[in-house]
Amino acid sequence: MRYVIFLLGILLGGCQVTPKASEPLAQVGPRPLYLLSQLPEGDLKQRLEVCRQQPFYRSEFSLAHRGAPLMFPEHSRASYQAAIDMGAGIAECDVTFTADLQLVCRHAQCDLHQTTDILLRPELAAKCSIPFTPADPATGRVANARCCTSDITADEFSQLCAKMDGVNPAAMLAKDYIAGTPAWRSELYSQCAAPLTHRHSIALFQQQGVKMIPELKQPEVPMPFQQQYTQQYFAQQLIDEYKAAGVAPSQVYLQSFNWQDILYWLEHEPEFGRQAVWLDERYEQPGFDPQQPQSWQPSMAALKAAGLNIIAPPLWVLLRERDGTIVPTAYAKAARAAGLDIIAWSLERSAPLAKGADWYYQSLPLLARDDGAILQVLHVLAQDVGVIGVFSDWPGTTTFYANCLLAPE
């Protein structure tokens, strides 16, 4: 029956279901259909409408960005499980280290004050690099704190409750400071979500049968840490934990913004290094322009010659407006011409687009004015840019699209 649905979908407009009997069903939920309702009438909407009632299956095009943090606390067990249930075929643990040099999943080394309840635990809050300081309306001082994974041990980290990312800068009390979730995200599933060590994330992803895309986070403490913990040791420790768990290199896509990390993996761990993903932040360089190759040196060909196979820029670096349509940038075309695969980040990390300009969509000021643009962006990334995957804070959307309009994996 599954093959009948697959063939019928092709005849009715390209709707495709991944024909892998071993893949579990995915529950994409109502959000993809909400986004579909926002699409203007046209060919894309007609093709996606055909897929409304079909079954959906896991897809490696669908990458879980920190889990499913649109509604679940990022890098928590619940967030990862939600993403996997929505069909994410690859899940991300952003990796940093603790005071006892253990690896844990956290987007930034020093974000515990805004992503966990550490400030409500006096013994642990006392260890924070910067204790909570209340706002002072008289002077205009905003509330502040800085709590790092490197301030506490892995056991202490595991005692915390993960929460939705956000703080209230006007807070007078710690309990109000951590209650800063943006209004467009949800706290419905934020009841003491369990944070994970890197090893625990590996075990979960192995048990669930998904691939892994860890990001080695840039340390926010001086390196070498504790006089002997170097950046290269950190980069090697990440791989060693996959080896210890018996994870094949083909199941892991190492990520880093640090080009030296990529070079280290290519030289010292080539089996893992060949799938390493360079998170390209050359957009921070003065004068960067996705249409001007001289502004993003070294060239794509030089990166490929150095051994890189996958590059990952933000959405806006890959897309631009031309004559009322969304098209690939020169950057996107050059990457593909050089033989580089592309992963894009991050879909559904933004407030509703109708609320105004957004960093991820800055190159689409006229065409990304409502949430219907999310599916349009996804379509151009998949069909015209040719990305191999897209990070999303709500992987049900990317799973829906991949099952509907991409060729079976």
Predicted confidence (pLDDT) per residue in 263-282, tens digit? 999 999 999 999 999 999 99
Angle at which helices 372-380 and 31-38 pack, to 10 degrees? 90
Contacts of 334 (CB under 8 A, 6+ apart): 293, 299, 300
Confidence of residue 20 (pLDDT cuts 50, 70, 90): low
SS3 category, 278: strand
Inter-residue contact 158 to 195 (CB < 8 Å): yes
> Across the chain, what does the average pLDDT equal?
94
Predicted confidence (pLDDT) per residue in 84-116, tens digit? 999 999 999 999 999 999 999 999 999 999 999
What CA–CA distance (Å, rounded) separates 389 from 378?
10
Q: What is the pLDDT of residue 366?
A: 96
Ranges of each domain in the chain: 2-107+186-405, 108-185
Inter-residue contact 111 to 149 (CB < 8 Å): no
> Is pLDDT of 237 > 80?
yes
Structure tokens at 75: 């890098």
Predicted confidence (pLDDT) per residue in 42-73, tens digit? 999 999 999 999 999 999 999 999 999 999 99
Inter-residue contact 88 to 62 (CB < 8 Å): yes
Provide the pairing of β-strand 94-97 with 103-105: antiparallel
For the domain spanning 2-107+186-405, the CATH number is 3.20.20.190
Q: Which helix (H) or strand (E) holds 208?
A: helix 198-208
Contacts of 223 (CB under 8 A, 6+ apart): 229, 230, 231, 234
